[in-house]
Amino acid sequence: DQQVKQNSPSLSVQEGRISILNCDYTNSMFDYFLWYKKYPAEGPTFLISISSIKDKNEDGRFTVFLNKSAKHLSLHIVPSQPGDSAVYFCAASATRLTSGSRLTFGEGTQLTVNP
């Protein structure tokens, strides 16, 4: 039972354009959502997060949008840069149920930004 899904295994965009990565979840108890970036041979690196009390969180070029009614979140990167090329993981947590970072991850989306 895949509670967090990233239906696009890969995405390719031109440098300078917007990258939009999507994530869907099924568990209504999830109340905190995170995006991680992973380069080959490295562990995932925390990128940005959003609590379910918000519908948008912005940090520089990165913005995460949350649509609770649709159980959908997205990560926007604008403008995209070649260094953004990596695998992006969506993760979710039910913080009211568990303490700490019990994260459920999606399968990841490989983003390639072409110069």
Yes or no: say if 90 and 26 are a contact pair by the CB < 8 Å rule: no
The two beta strands, 109-114 and 10-14, are: parallel
Question: Residue 57 Cβ, how far from other proteins at the closest point, in Å?
Answer: 13
Smaller CB separation from other proteins, 63 or 93: 93
By beta-carbon proximity to other proteins, the closer residue of 108 and 113 is 108
Taking the complex as a whole, the smallest distance from the CB of residue 101 to other proteins amounts, in Å, to: 4
Binding positions for other proteins, rule: CB under 8 A: 2, 4, 32, 34, 36, 41-46, 49, 89, 91, 93, 95, 98-108
The pair of structure tokens assigned to 12 is: 């390719």
Q: Which residues contact 104 (CB under 8 A, 6 or more apart)?
A: 3, 4, 27, 30, 91, 92, 93
User: Smaller CB distance to other proteins: residue 44 or 75?
Assistant: 44
